[in-house]
Amino acid sequence: MLLEVSFVLAIAAGVAYLFWMMLRNASQKIGAQFTKLADRFDLELTQPAAQLAGFNRPEPFVHGRYRDREISISVPGKGLQNTRQIETTLKIEVAEKNFSFQMTASGLLGGLRQRDSGGMPRCKSVETAFDGALDVRTDNDDRLIQLLDAPQREKILTLIKQSKGTIYLRGGVLAFAKIGLIAKDAERKLFEEAVEFFMDLAERIEA
């Protein structure tokens, strides 16, 4: 009996160790990507310490100023609509608090994401392909249509198609939220491109 118990405990310990190693390796990959983001945009990197003997590893985040704007890339504590779907979110300061919009892909997931759009009505632009692919909500149709010329619509459509993410402007914050963590070069590069695009878009919003 003692031998059987020891065998079970050894298996449990082995499984726990493998799980710990997986968590550590995943955390190191994410940390490396956030370090590259911090270096790319000259931002401050915060890497919270591991907890519970390394079984709880809070995600890193970067924050600071880039192109004279406050910026952060982080992982909020809760998932999409309080689910377990973790999002990575880019936020950029915009000097505009009286204009809001939210854009995501059309379909079931897009509908779930639009539940937090504050009841804003759907907006139709002047481009059928754009309207069909995206679910766009705003509190000012005319201003949004004027803001999004053809190059802007193409960039937004490409970004959302690639990421399955959401773009929104609310309360003076321009944001991009994508399900998942930044663990690979391709994911980091997508956020790097989003930062530059959002900086340009913020200038257009304030113009």
Structure tokens at 6: 């020891």
Identify the domain containing residue 123 by its residue range: 2-206
Q: What is the DSSP string of 41-65?
A: HT-EEE-PPPBGGGTB-PPPEEEEE
Q: What is the DSSP string of 117-166?
A: STTPPB---S-HHHHHHEEEEES-HHHHHHH--HHHHHHHHHHHHHH--E
Cα separation, 37 vs 63, in Å, equals: 10
Q: Per the structure, how many domains does the chain have? A: 1
Q: What is the pLDDT along the chain (207 residues), one digit of tens a residue?
A: 655 555 455 565 555 545 445 656 666 788 889 999 999 999 999 987 665 554 456 788 999 999 999 999 999 865 444 445 688 999 999 999 999 999 998 876 655 666 666 678 888 776 778 888 899 999 999 999 999 988 999 999 999 999 989 999 999 999 999 988 898 999 999 999 999 999 999 999 998
Cα separation, 140 vs 185, in Å, equals: 37
Please choose, from the candidates 59, 57, 91, the residue with its C-alpha nearest in 3D space to the C-alpha of residue 75.
Answer: 59
